[in-house]
Amino acid sequence: METQVAGPALPESRGAVSAAVTRFLRGAGPPPESRVIAGADPFGDDLQLALYLCYELHYRGFADVDADLEWDPELLRCRAALEWPFLESLRDRATRHVSAQDALDDLLVEPAGGDGDGGGGVGDYLQDEGELWQVREYAAQRSLYHLKEADPHAWVLPRLWGRAKAGMAAVEFDEFGGGRAERVHARLFADLMTDLGLDPTYGRYVDAAGAEALALVNLMSLFGLHRALRGALVGHFATVEITSSPGSRRLARAMRRTGAGAAAEHFYDEHVEADAVHEQVVRRDVVAGLLEEEPQLDADVAFGVDATNHLEDALAARLLTAWRTGRSSLRTPV
């Protein structure tokens, strides 16, 4: 048995479900029972943290957690029990579009939920009236994804072929710095965090982030780890890339107005330029190539778009509701 010594410490549990998963990862008890999972809110802190703990074993793991637990049958059964209510709730709520074409066309109309800046006007708020402490909170919430930016999407590559695979690989190559370690987007976000006086250590702000931020990262892992959801992952990826350029432009302005720092500005400036190109590649090659080969996945692509927007809107509501009343959006202070 191999012990994982790298990776962040396990976060604090947020209820009976995540507490049981944490105990299991420490070798101190069984996974949560099905009845306990069934009683948890599919979008709540407890279930979302438990799901995040399961998924994170496929990324960097946790300090002092056995790496072999990644494929432990008991934990995989637990993960499936956690995934089902999350996925079914999304299928019930994220139902705006029935075709990929309509879903993607709507992403080009401003304002659009899931616009790459938190959706629902978070980017507008930060560029027009946000304060530096709010920019710092936004970065802490988003760090759960951006410190592993593009990693969940890489799982879809073996499940694509032809134009879709080539287009996806081209975009991912850019996300990973075009072969240059200092230009990897996760590295650029770590530099942004340093500018903002935040700790860029991977996983540092899991305890501070809300269920909404966890859910967005979990959505990528859910779609990425299931071949049956490859169409939904492409829809999610398209949402991120198509909406990123205008969203990043707003956030770049926010960084300049609040004096966040040169690296903070550069992260979003980079996305304004790169993702304007990516948008065309994703629409023309990734989505069109996938649906040319597998037209039966059209509704899945639309679902991926709608699910992403639904969760982006939830995060936006948390942030803006707190900020407009002068409160922190975080569970714990940074």
283 closest CA partner among 95, 105, 159? 105
Is the same domain home to 174 and 59? Answer: no
Q: In whole angstroms, what is the distance from residue 168 CA to residue 160 CA?
A: 9
Is 142 strand, coil or helix?
helix
Domain boundary among 74, 93, 112: 93
Instruction: Fill in the amino acid letter for 201.
Output: T
Is the same domain home to 147 and 15? Answer: no
Is the same domain home to 37 and 136? Answer: no
- In angstroms, how far is the first alpha carbon of the chain from the final one? 36
| Residue 261 in domain | yes
| Residue 332 in domain | no
Is the same domain home to 170 and 226? Answer: yes
Is the same domain home to 291 and 186? Answer: yes
Are the C-beta atoms of residues 7 and 203 closer than 8 Å to each other?
Answer: yes
Is the same domain home to 88 and 114? Answer: no
- Provide the CATH number for the domain around residue 268: 1.20.910.10
- Number of independent structural domains in the chain: 2
Domain limits at 74?
3-93
Q: How many C-beta atoms surround the C-beta of residue 8 within 10 A?
A: 17
Is the same domain home to 113 and 188? Answer: yes
| Residue 109 in domain | yes
Q: In whole angstroms, what is the distance from residue 122 CA to residue 194 CA?
A: 22
Summarised one tens digit per residue, pLDDT across range 301-318 is 999 999 999 999 999 999
Summarised one tens digit per residue, pLDDT across range 110-133 is 654 444 444 448 999 999 999 999
| Residue 330 in domain | no
239 closest CA partner among 279, 266, 289? 279
Is the same domain home to 142 and 70? Answer: no
| Residue 19 in domain | yes
Summarised one tens digit per residue, pLDDT across range 45-93 is 999 999 999 999 999 999 999 999 999 999 999 999 999 999 999 999 9
Residue 22 is inside which H or E element, if any? helix 16-25
Tokens of 80: 């499936």
| Residue 257 in domain | yes
Is the same domain home to 117 and 40? Answer: no
Q: How many C-beta atoms surround the C-beta of residue 157 within 10 A?
A: 13
Q: What is the pTM of this model?
A: 0.94
Domain boundary among 93, 110, 138: 93
Is the same domain home to 205 and 62? Answer: no
Phi/psi for 307 (5° steps) reads -65, -40
Summarised one tens digit per residue, pLDDT across range 152-178 is 999 999 999 999 999 999 999 999 999
| Residue 302 in domain | yes
Question: What mean pLDDT value characterizes the chain?
Answer: 94
Phi/psi for 129 (5° steps) reads -145, 0
Is the same domain home to 179 and 195? Answer: yes
| Residue 331 in domain | no
332 Rama class: left (phi>0) / alpha (psi -120 to 50) / beta: beta
Confidence bin at 286 (pLDDT 50/70/90): very high
Is the same domain home to 160 and 64? Answer: no
Domain boundary among 39, 59, 93: 93
